[in-house]
Amino acid sequence: MLLEVKDIHISYGDIQAICGVSFCLERGELVSIIGANGAGKTSILNSVMGIFPPQKGAIYFKGQDITTMPVHQRARIGIRIVPERSRVFPRLTVYENLMTGVYGLKNKLPIDERVSWLYEVFPILKERHNQIGSTLSGGEQQQLSIARALISDPELLLVDEVSMGLMPKLVEQVFGVLEQLNRGHGLTILLVEQNAFASLNISARGYVLETGTCVLHGDAKELMDNPRVKEVYLGH
Amino acid sequence: MSSYVITIGTIIVIQAIAVCGLNVIVGYAGQISLGHAAFFGIGAYSAAILTTKAGFSFWTALPLVIGMSGFIGLLLGLPSIRVREDFLAITTIGINFIVEAVFRYVQFFGGALGIGGIPRIVLFGIKLKGITFFLLCLGFLIVVLFICWWFTRSWASLACYAIREEETAASTMGISPVRFKLLAFVIGTAMAGLGGSLYAHYMQFISAGDFSFPVSVAFLSMLVLGGMGTLWGPVVGTLILGVLPEVFRPLVDYRIFFYTLLLLLMIRFQPGGILGEGSVVRRILAPILKGGRA
């Protein structure tokens, strides 16, 4: 098992965001966590990344307890995140943004090969190579954010609301890339999304989150057929 | 060159060394520091004590002075791990007041009388003063600028920029904010220590008032005016704020007025500083000034 999250509890002051959520990811899986706004999806990703560690419960990565491990160390052992609203470094160029992703891995990775591959996957980034982050459109920033997370060749990619603010065509393209990374390259992905249809459509399994608790989980196709999921998240 | 011009030039160069150090902390790593004069003072007092009380020469004391300033910078940089922005600014102001009080009230540091009799620097048997001292300081400034230039092209610089722009995003890339904030504090305060050491040997007498909070504000003004996060900004800012009071000397009663007006105009029209991002000067000199990133 690559990632195991056991009974985590997260609260912000008096507000309980996550209450006893558990889930796991096998290597090579693409798993979605879906839920409405405020359900606690981002809190879960942030706790796996270490940005807001859980107050209770435990997180294991490759069998190692990482519950209290600092964020940068989690990044170095192979966990990377594509955050909500991209968070590219606005005054660094596209190339420099990518280079921040390989910090400390300079001698371990064929960086030029990785950059070439990413420029193939996201051709617009090649065109914008020397352009600073703040001048990119929302969609381009999102692609840069994904590329920056991928350049280090991570073992686990956490993706937070990647469709937010993107036009439908671009959403389709980004989900296509994620599916290809999972199927073609065996990358393990934990996807957190409001766009339940798009995310479950490319996932093997899914978890449905409501007000900080997991109310449903199972095979993605079965979840898509579930009457409750259909009614609340798929609009059928 | 008259001795008056050389004196003004020497002070400007010494201050530029300290402001370059502040640029590493504030400009490159994005950590607010309003207590930089404390480290300038730590360098000056370390040099003064080592040369007047422990029998060291300037040259043998210099590595210790730089090391000590950097080490104390490391310790005092620790708050930057816990506190940010406004709170860090207040913490660094506090550090300045505490260091100044230690110099003023602890007899070992000369108390209110300060430390006098600091020897001149001797190089190849020649006591440096006037133009020779100015050239020595200029040499040190070139070394400091070279270190800054090297820093802006290193991976450490990229990491510092990332932390400055988005600390959480930087840490998700595997960059340790603690490590690079402290690195910036160590490099920046070590440079301030070097400047302080040169100041002590130039003035030959130092007292706590030379390193008070207004001096920190002056250093920060020089940096803001020149352009934070640029290679040449600290030099340009120090030069302008060093020369202007002398230029306006005939208008001595209105000197502060012009000084303040200049700063207000800068804040209004060129908030990034003279060489900062999007500045008029930077656009004109873009092909020549390849130094800073921002």
B159 CB within 8 Å of a chain A CB: yes
Kind and range of the H or E element at A207? strand A205-210
Domain count, chain A: 2
- Give the CATH number for residue A73: 3.40.50.300
Question: In chain A, where does DSSP find H-type helix?
Answer: 41-49, 71-76, 94-100, 111-121, 123-127, 138-150, 168-185, 196-202, 220-225, 227-232
* Higher pLDDT, residue B244 or A186: A186
Span A145-192, pLDDT tens digits: 888 888 888 899 999 888 877 778 778 888 888 888 888 888 999 999
What letter would DSSP give residue A93? B
Place B80 in a pLDDT band, splitting at 50, 70 and 90: low
A76 CB within 8 Å of a chain B CB: yes
The answer as to whether A168 is a domain residue is: no
Place A90 in a pLDDT band, splitting at 50, 70 and 90: confident
Place B15 in a pLDDT band, splitting at 50, 70 and 90: very high
Chain B partners within 8 Å of A76 (Cβ): 174
Same-domain pairing of A73 and A100? no
Rounded mean pLDDT of chain A?
A: 86
Provide mean pLDDT across the span B16-43.
Answer: 91
The answer as to whether A170 is a domain residue is: no
Task: Write out the residue range of the structural domain in which residue A192 sits.
Answer: 1-78+156-162+183-236
Task: Write out the residue range of the structural domain in which residue B18 sits.
Answer: 3-285
Chain A partners within 8 Å of B162 (Cβ): 89, 92, 100, 103
A36 CB within 8 Å of a chain B CB: no
Place B291 in a pLDDT band, splitting at 50, 70 and 90: very low
Kind and range of the H or E element at A65? strand A64-65
The answer as to whether A127 is a domain residue is: yes
Q: Please name every residue paired with B126 in a beta bridge, in sequence order, or none if there are none.
A: B123
The answer as to whether B290 is a domain residue is: no
The answer as to whether A225 is a domain residue is: yes
- Give the chain A residue whose CA is nearest to the CA of B155: A103
Provide mean pLDDT across the span B240-246.
Answer: 82
The answer as to whether A177 is a domain residue is: no
Domain count, chain B: 1
Q: Which of A133, A153, A173 is the last residue of a domain?
A: A153
Confidence check: pLDDT of B254 > 90: no
B81 CB within 8 Å of a chain A CB: no
Are B215 and B277 in contact by the 8 Å Cβ rule? The answer is: no
The answer as to whether B291 is a domain residue is: no
Distance, first Cα to last Cα, chain A: 35
The answer as to whether A176 is a domain residue is: no
Are A44 and A80 in contact by the 8 Å Cβ rule? The answer is: no
Confidence check: pLDDT of B290 > 60: no
Are B52 and B119 in contact by the 8 Å Cβ rule? The answer is: yes
Provide mean pLDDT across the span B200-220.
Answer: 89
B28 CB within 8 Å of a chain A CB: no
Kind and range of the H or E element at B75? helix B58-77
Provide mean pLDDT across the span A32-61.
Answer: 90
Q: Is B229 left (phi over 0), alpha (psi -120 to 50) or beta?
A: left
Are A190 and A33 in contact by the 8 Å Cβ rule? The answer is: yes
Same-domain pairing of A93 and A135? yes
* A119 vs A139: CA distance, rounded Å: 15
The answer as to whether A169 is a domain residue is: no
- Give the CATH number for residue B92: 1.10.3470
Place A234 in a pLDDT band, splitting at 50, 70 and 90: low
CA distance, residue A72 to nearest chain B CA (Å): 4
Place A106 in a pLDDT band, splitting at 50, 70 and 90: low
* B180 vs B165: CA distance, rounded Å: 13
Same-domain pairing of A98 and A72? no
Same-domain pairing of A22 and A61? yes
Nearest beta carbon to residue A100 from set B162, B176, B294? B162
Kind and range of the H or E element at B22? helix B3-22
The answer as to whether B103 is a domain residue is: yes
Place of tokens 């060394």: B17
